[in-house]
Chain A
Amino acid sequence: MNALFARDMRLATRAGGSALLALAFFAGVATLVPLGVGADLRLLARIAGGVLWVAAVLAALLSLDRLFQADYEDGSLDLVALAPGSLEAAAFAKIAAHWLTTGLPLTLLSPLLGLLFDLPERGYPALAVSLLLGTPAVSAIGAVGAALTLSIRRGGLILPLIVLPLLAPIVIFGAGAVLAALDGSANGALWLVAAFSMVAVLLSPFAAAACVRLHLGS
């Protein structure tokens, strides 16, 4: 499934790909919120983690609805199903490519955007690490939603309804980790983010592959 991974990476980074779109959306939200909230630096520092986490999840969702749908509509998914590898491996390859082209760039950009919120120095490690650990879960759970809705026109409308409730815990703990770092309290939230992410990445390929089989056979 290296082939599928390499192709998805290439498609996402080519002109018109999803990588730049997610990054631009993330930067746009993170730039507008401080402008909207105003110059209360204490308040901005407190909400930085939450706003950046929400923006990251929404930015990732932007490209998730096409994750399987594009391949389903043009027939590529049939050819993948007939290929020697398993659909589970294919789903994992697509999740990995999605994370590398959205989750990872968002994580790398987040410290820069933290500056716009006047985030104190001790908040940066928690922000970057929580995003690094948590965004794989966003791609993984999002992929299950994408596979469930792959044959629905305007599936992008239903996808957030399915996926957002499942992603709520990771937003809560991710943003909580940043706050805990600001308060200097013990940071158990990061471990929860890591655990949540690990379970999501391990189980999602199986769920996504099952959904794809269901759609191909109907």
Chain B
Amino acid sequence: MVFRGLSLRAESGRALSLEGPNGAGKSSLLRMLAGLLAPAAGDISFETARGAVGEAEERGRLVGLLAHQDAVKPQLTPRETLDFHARLYGVAACAPVLLERVGLKRQAELPCQYLSAGQKRRLALARLVLSARPLWLLDEPLAALDAQGKDLLRAMIATHCAAGGIVVAATHDPLGVDCARLALGAA
């Protein structure tokens, strides 16, 4: 049992930061919200314009996930990575625009094995925007990013919320944006 008696509500246009020490269950909670992990007890439900969505697989269709792994294949270039993702998610490919926005324009045709950890993280951010999902689940989104990258992430969160999206971020460090906070108890 990682946690019990937990209740949270995130509203459209708002960011929520999950805080807590290592092992408090932040990542597990994110995976539960995404429908990848089934809670031992309790319900998770998303209110949408088309009614409540409770079933795990359907919830997953509303989620854009930035996990702590970057899911970047070393053999593929950033542009190929984004194009693959666009086809997989059935959304319009706009790799050049997104790569420019995250500052990877010059590396667009370079195999990802040559990218630094921060650059891979930026690529993962571009992919998150590309997914065009209303609920963003971010696991330690600030990790590996430089100051400029952190500003970029904050701007992306603000844009997403302004467009009516929801952001739930698990983080040690303060997110640095206007957000509600949920502290998960000490392990």
Contact = CB atoms under 8 A, between A and B. Distances in A.
Interface of A: 2-4, 6-7, 10-11, 14-17, 73-76, 78-85, 216-218
B75 A17 contact: yes
A84 B65 contact: no
Contact of A81 (B36, B38, B70, B73): B36
11 contacts: A3-B87, A73-B69, A75-B69, A76-B73, A78-B67, A79-B85, A79-B88, A82-B63, A216-B37, A217-B36, A217-B37
A6 B71 contact: no
B76 A3 contact: no
- Name the 7 nearest CB pairs between A and B, nearest first: A75-B69, A3-B87, A75-B71, A3-B88, A76-B71, A82-B60, A14-B75
Contacts of A76: 71, 73
Contacts of B80: 10
B30 to A, nearest CB: 10
B97 to A, nearest CB: 20
A11 B76 contact: yes
B34 A82 contact: yes
A6 B36 contact: no
Interface residues on B, range: 20 to 34
Nearest to A12: B75
Interface string B54-88: 00000011011101111111011000100011011
Contacts of B70: 74-75
A78 B71 contact: yes
Interface of B: 34-38, 60-61, 63-65, 67-73, 75-76, 80, 84-85, 87-90, 127
A114 B62 CA distance: 53
Contacts of B34: 78, 82
Contacts of B35: 82
A217 B38 contact: yes
A7 B71 CA distance: 13
Given A74-B71, A74-B73, A76-B73, A2 B87 contact: yes
Contacts of B75: 10-11, 14-17
Contacts of B88: 3-4, 79-80, 83, 85
A27 to B, nearest CB: 23
Contacts of B85: 3, 79
Q: Which of A11, A83, A216, A218 has the most CB of B within 10 A?
A: A83
Q: Which of B67, B68, B88, B90 has the most CB of A within 10 A?
A: B88
Contacts of B36: 78, 81-82, 216-217
Nearest to A7: B84
